[in-house]
């Protein structure tokens, strides 16, 4: 019997894994919020001045009196039919996320391109400098210190400082908020630049360190020595032998980071710059103990992470024949 196509097996395995992860995450999220004693959603839905009878009515109307697993199934059904309503603001969560997505997409796409370029440039320069003379090594150290500061930077501190000095003091950029691209392209750009810079600083340092280490590792590989011994020019060895292989970890890292930021992972940056994106919605919903939006957003993030990691695995396999799809 002929074995199934490896690509097909890979795709099916990933699909099954994704469903399991989404299921587990949704159960975990539901349970975390189920254990709050003071978190009875009926109390919040009924409002501050509700009578016990009104609270009871709300409890029955929303099904909070039913067993946990029934409530869980009901919520999952509502999520997948797009009818899920948040407890505190009582708006359609899926529609709300749809409204928040443009800001988050703007943040993710712009910032991910910037941090990739900056990270790769810093990493390559650092690796090249590290193998030269004294002065060059000192410059590499300096780049390393810059990268380390970026890695260690708390997102909200950086955002606050950018807003204060470039917004309040110099009036170069607006003080946070989001303007849709379709309404006002220039306003969109000026509102996005600071958040982009902020996220880029946070990520580029880490990328440059990973890439620098990866390049230096690859330079020690025997196939690089072989290529050099064959008389291939150092520049070509660097580009088509060293860099091509060193970029592999960066590719998968980038895919995952992209997915996480797109899924609302930049809670702090979005909150500081008041972008009103998915991440800020997630942060606000957790503070309100509002389960439905958190369920949807965590599942969205997990979904994106699994999809993007599958894509990066495929890219890796295409770039490096040693990588086999499992």
Partner 1 sequence: MNDRGALRRLLHEPHALIAGAVLTAIVIACLLAPVYAADVAHTGPDATHVTETIVVSGKKVEVVSPTGVPIGPTWTGRFLLGADENGRDVAVRLLYGGRNSLEIAAVATVLSIVLAVAVALIAGWLGGAVDSLLCRLMDLIWSYPVLLLGVALGVTLAVSGIDLGFTTLRGGSLMLPALIIGVVYVPYMARPLRARTIELRGREFVDAARQQGLSGTRIMLGEILPNLSSSILVFAPLLLANAILMEAGLSFLGAGVQPPAPSWGTMISEGTRLMPDAIHLVLAPGLMLLAAVVSANVLAEAARDVLDPRARLRAQPTAGGLDWVPTVPPAPPAPSDGEPA
Stretch that binds partner 1, among 1-9, 17-25, 64-72, 131-139 (CB under 8 A): 17-25
Helix (H) or strand (E) run with residue 81 in it: none
Closest approach of partner 1 to the CB of residue 264, in Å: 8
If binding is defined by CB under 8 A, does position 323 make contact with partner 1?
yes
- Is the Cβ of residue 69 or residue 223 nearer to partner 1 in the bound state? 223
Q: Which is nearer to partner 1, 57 or 174 (CB)?
A: 174
Instruction: Find the binder of partner 1 among 7, 19, 32, 91 (CB under 8 A).
Output: 32
Please identify which residue in 2, 3, 38, 48 interacts with partner 1, judged by CB under 8 A: 38
| 266 sits near partner 1 (criterion: CB under 8 A) | yes
- Site track 167-196 with partner 1 (rule: CB under 8 A), x = hit: -x----------------------------
Is the torsion defined by CA of 264, 269, 275, 281 positive or negative? positive
- When the beta carbons of 62 and 303 are compared against partner 1, the nearer one is 303
Site string for partner 1, 99-138 (x = CB under 8 A): ----------------------------------------
Using DSSP, state whether 92 is helix, strand or coil: strand
Maximum CA pair distance of the chain? 87
Stretch that binds partner 1, among 79-87, 90-98, 154-162, 180-188 (CB under 8 A): 154-162
Q: Which stretch binds partner 1 (CB under 8 A): 54-62, 126-134, 183-191, 199-207?
A: 199-207
199 near partner 1 (CB under 8 A): yes
Q: Is 213 in the site for partner 1 (CB under 8 A)?
A: yes
Q: How far is the CB of 256 from partner 1 (least distance, A)?
A: 5
Residue 261 has which token pair? 């930021």
305 touching partner 1, by CB under 8 A:
yes
- Its sign, for the CA torsion 256, 25, 80, 31, is negative
Rounded to whole angstroms, the Cα distance separating 210 from 164 reads 31
| Binding-site member from 28, 91, 117, 142 for partner 1 (CB under 8 A) | 28
The token pair at 10 is: 């890979």
- Please, which residues have CB within 8 angstroms of residue 162's CB and are 6 or more apart in sequence? 173, 194, 197, 198
Contacts 24+ apart (CB under 8 A), 31-40: 33/289, 33/291, 33/294, 34/68, 36/289, 39/289, 40/64
Query: With binding defined as CB under 8 A, does residue 261 bind partner 1?
Result: yes
**Does 216 contact partner 1 by CB under 8 A?**
no
Distance CA(212)–CA(234), nearest Å, equals: 17
Question: Is there a contact between 323 and 317 (Cβ–Cβ < 8 Å)?
Answer: yes
Q: Choose, by CB under 8 A, the member of 84, 93, 103, 253 that binds partner 1.
A: 253
Q: How far apart are CA 14 and CA 6, in angstroms?
A: 12
Contact 211, 238 (CB under 8 A): no
Q: 241 to each of 123, 231, 235, 236, how far by Cα in Å?
A: 16, 13, 10, 7
User: By C-beta, is 93 or 158 nearer to partner 1?
Assistant: 158
Name which position in 109, 190, 249, 251 contacts partner 1 (CB under 8 A).
Answer: 249
């Amino acid at each position: 019997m002929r074995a199934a196509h490896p690509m097909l097996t890979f795709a099916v395995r990933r699909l099954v894994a994704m469903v399991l992860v989404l299921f587990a995450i949704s159960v975990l999220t539901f349970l975390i919020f189920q254990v709050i004693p003071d978190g009875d959603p009926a109390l919040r839905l009924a409002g501050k001045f509700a009578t016990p009878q009104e609270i009871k009515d709300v409890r029955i109307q929303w099904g909070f009196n039913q067993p946990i697993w029934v409530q869980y199934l009901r919520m999952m059904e509502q999520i997948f039919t797009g009818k899920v309503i948040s407890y505190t603001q009582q708006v359609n969560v899926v529609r709300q996320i749809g409204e928040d997505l443009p800001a988050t997409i703007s943040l993710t796409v712009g910032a991910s391109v910037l941090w990739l370029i900056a990270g790769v440039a810093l990493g390559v320069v650092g690796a090249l400098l590290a193998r030269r003379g004294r002065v060059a090594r000192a410059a590499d150290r300096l780049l390393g210190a810059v990268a380390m500061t970026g890695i260690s930077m708390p997102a909200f501190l950086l955002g606050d400082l950018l807003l204060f000095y470039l917004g309040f003091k110099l009036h170069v950029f607006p003080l946070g908020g989001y303007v849709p691209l379709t309404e006002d392209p220039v306003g969109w750009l000026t509102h996005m630049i600071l958040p982009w810079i902020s996220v880029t600083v946070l990520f580029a340092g880490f990328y440059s360190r990973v890439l620098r280490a990866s390049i230096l590792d690859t330079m020690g590989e025997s196939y690089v020595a072989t290529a050099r011994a064959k008389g291939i020019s150092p520049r070509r060895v660097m580009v088509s032998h060293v860099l091509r292989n060193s970029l592999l970890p960066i590719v998968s890292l980038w895919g995952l980071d992209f997915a996480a930021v797109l899924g609302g992972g930049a809670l702090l940056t979005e909150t500081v710059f008041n972008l009103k994106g998915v991440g800020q919605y997630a942060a606000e919903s957790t503070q309100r103990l509002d389960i439905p939006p958190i369920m949807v957003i965590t599942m969205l993030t997990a979904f994106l992470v699994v999809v993007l990691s599958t894509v990066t695995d495929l890219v890796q396999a295409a770039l490096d024949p040693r990588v086999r799809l499992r």
